[in-house]
Amino acid sequence: MALSTDLLEILVCPVCKGDLEYLREQERLVCHACRLAYRIEEDIPIMLPDEAESLGGEPSADQAGSGEESGK
């Protein structure tokens, strides 16, 4: 079963509040600005930044200041 259109219209990236691309076959919601992919398990999007998969490459300016690189 796929995610409902109504749900997809209101979901945004929890990090930058940007748009998400729904990859149905891969069961992922992708934020291209943050270069993060959020998995979907049993038709439930897992929208926790700590659970997101990095797509690699350079993060956008929105994510660069998130403090992920500090050694603290």
Q: Find the CATH number of the domain harbouring 34.
A: 2.20.25.10
Return the residue matching tokens 């945004």: 12
Q: What is the mean pLDDT of residues 5-20?
A: 96
In a domain, 41, yes or no: yes
In a domain, 25, yes or no: yes
Spell out where the chain has E strands. Answer: 21-23, 28-31, 36-41, 44-45, 53-54
pLDDT tens, 38-71? 999 999 999 999 999 999 876 554 444 454 444 4
The pLDDT score that the predictor gives to residue 58 is: 64
Whether residue 32 has pLDDT greater than 90:
yes
pLDDT tens, 13-26? 999 999 999 999 99
Range of the domain at 15: 5-55
- With a CB cutoff of 8 Å and minimum separation 6, the contacts of 34 are 13, 15, 16, 18, 59, 60, 62, 63
pTM of the model: 0.76
